[in-house]
Amino acid sequence: MGWAEILDAPERREPVPNGPILDGSRDMTLTRIAGAMRHIGASEAEVLAALRETNKRCEPPLVDSDLRRIAHSVARYAPAPEPIQLATSSKATTQLAMASSIVPRRVRWLWRDRLALGKVVMLDGRPGLGKSSMALDIAARVSTGSAMPDGFDPNTGAANVVVVTAEDDWEDTVVPRLMAAGADLSRVYRLDELSLPDGVDRLEELLAGVGAVFCAIDPLVAFVPAKYDLYKDQSARLALKPLSMAASRLGAAVLGLRHVNKAANISAQDRGTGSVAIGGSARANLIVGPDPDMTDRFVLASIKNNLGPRPPSLNYRLTPTTVTLPDGAASMVAVDWLGEVDLNADDLVSPDRQGEAVKFLLAVLADGPVPTKDVEKRAKDAGLSWVGAVRRASERIPVVKSPAGFGGEWTWSLPS
């Protein structure tokens, strides 16, 4: 049996792509194949030979020095020993593998600290705030190899993406929005039918077939049958776990969109529809909301990031634009990114946190003037955004802001 047949065996779950391996997924695909081969005992020479054969299907092929680098890198790790099988009370056995047999690797980012390759990420928000347009903006950037809104370059080159949507029509909405975002339409693929988790294998085949590195599912819950109660933790995890595993095998970033509930005075983590396990099973969770200080602006914020630090929140607005279609001009909106903003996720779902911020300031300033920088530090330690909550609360009290003598640092104090 050849290496391709061994890796394709069901128990390995490391399928060797049958079609062309496109620019943007070449290095990742060949590294996964090399790691899987080394894991089951292949020598460096055998790995290199297999990479050279597989490289013939790369478009364009990698240079041989890159293939040697990959083969040499995985050869540093010892092959996995035979798994330890533990007998259980049933006919099934449980397998153990030593951590030393696993080849470690860095997290690869499509958008640093927001979208990781090989992971599922959730994007929450109310209707009308541009979630779908944002997903298509990201898809457009991936399709053209452009940098992300904050300037991060994932180094995937122009790559293929798949969009699954249950709410928007492709002819009059999705494609015109992609055009407004500057997408390479030849790299964006449409998928209409999807059922999670039963259809994950088919989704994986389709993504692998076109070498997609990004998949947007809008909204995610629309593709989960009613037999899975997404308001129950166990059921939600059973429905979404296969999608996470498929994303990991493919090395593709999967972005699931989700509406938020109407509950008030709860954290952003609890605002997404369904069980908290939906956001919990994702490796990162983002949210969009209105900017409480600017009526024509919105904010993308991070609820959580299990793979690194929380990224700063970003301001954006939806700018009207016109695209030319075969049957005439059409009015669309494009996402206009405006840079970082000092607001956190909770500021977006409970924009009037001034009551909490007022109590904070009354307590901090109760004993007299406090340097402004100390107030800011203690506010952030308390989870309150400086601009979004504390500064607005200071105007409501109103706090007295003055320098401590000529040339001295500024202090905040309560009015007499």
List the CATH number of the domain containing 200: 3.40.50.300
> Do both 333 and 362 map to the same domain?
no
> Do both 331 and 385 map to the same domain?
no
| Residue 91 forms part of a structural domain | no
Q: What is the pLDDT of residues 357-384, one digit of tens each?
A: 888 899 999 999 999 999 999 988 888 8
> Do both 339 and 370 map to the same domain?
no
> Do both 409 and 324 map to the same domain?
no
| Residue 94 forms part of a structural domain | no
Which of 122-126, 175-179, 350-354 is least confident?
350-354
Whole-number pLDDT of residue 274: 92
Cβ atoms of residues 204 and 249 within 8 Å: yes
pLDDT category at 353 given cuts 50, 70, 90 is low
| Residue 295 forms part of a structural domain | yes
Stretch 311-330: mean pLDDT: 97
Number of domains, the chain? 3
Whole-number pLDDT of residue 42: 85
Structure token digits, residue 289: 């909301």
Whole-number pLDDT of residue 68: 87
> Do both 337 and 197 map to the same domain?
yes
> Do both 15 and 114 map to the same domain?
no
Give the amino acid at 392.
Answer: R
> Do both 238 and 184 map to the same domain?
yes
Stretch 315-334: mean pLDDT: 97
Strands 370-371 and 410-413: antiparallel
> Do both 63 and 118 map to the same domain?
no
Give the amino acid at 347.
Answer: D
Stretch 161-186: mean pLDDT: 97
> Do both 278 and 306 map to the same domain?
yes
Query: Cβ neighbours of residue 150 under 8 Å, at least 6 residues apart?
Result: 111, 112, 311, 314, 337, 340
> Do both 235 and 369 map to the same domain?
no
Stretch 306-331: mean pLDDT: 96
Residue showing tokens 């909405």:
173
Per DSSP, the three-state class of 340 is strand
| Residue 101 forms part of a structural domain | no
| Residue 90 forms part of a structural domain | no
Phi-psi region of 87 (alpha: psi -120 to 50; beta: other; left: phi over 0): beta
Asked which of 328, 349, 370 is the last residue of a domain, the reply is 349
Q: Does a cis peptide bond (omega within 30 degrees of 0) precede residue 60?
A: yes
pLDDT category at 275 given cuts 50, 70, 90 is very high
Higher-confidence position of 344 and 94: 344
> Do both 307 and 187 map to the same domain?
yes
Whole-number pLDDT of residue 161: 97
Whole-number pLDDT of residue 96: 83
Whole-number pLDDT of residue 12: 46
Within 144-243, strands assigned E span: 160-165, 188-191, 212-218
What share of the chain has pLDDT > 70, as a percent?
89
How many Å apart are CA 241 and CA 223, to the nearest integer? 14
Asked which of 302, 329, 349 is the last residue of a domain, the reply is 349
> Do both 72 and 184 map to the same domain?
no
How many Å apart are CA 116 and CA 251, to the nearest integer? 9
Cβ atoms of residues 240 and 196 within 8 Å: yes
Per DSSP, the three-state class of 27 is helix
Q: What is the pLDDT of residues 325-352, one digit of tens each?
A: 999 999 999 999 999 998 889 888 875 5
What share of the chain has pLDDT > 90, as a percent?
58
Give the amino acid at 205.
Answer: E
| Residue 102 forms part of a structural domain | no
Asked which of 349, 370, 399 is the last residue of a domain, the reply is 349
Q: What is the pLDDT of residues 110-121, one digit of tens each?
A: 999 999 999 999
Report the CATH number at residue 408.
Answer: 1.10.10
Q: Does a cis peptide bond (omega within 30 degrees of 0) precede residue 197?
A: yes
pLDDT at 5 over 60: no
Domain limits for position 64: 3-85
Cβ atoms of residues 117 and 123 within 8 Å: no
Q: Within 10 Å of residue 84's Cβ, how many Cβ atoms? A: 11
| Residue 104 forms part of a structural domain | no
pLDDT at 291 over 90: no
- The whole-model pTM stands at 0.73
Nearest to 221 by CA among 149, 272, 148, 289: 272
Stretch 107-135: mean pLDDT: 97
pLDDT at 414 over 80: yes
| Residue 240 forms part of a structural domain | yes
How many Å apart are CA 212 and CA 25, to the nearest integer? 8
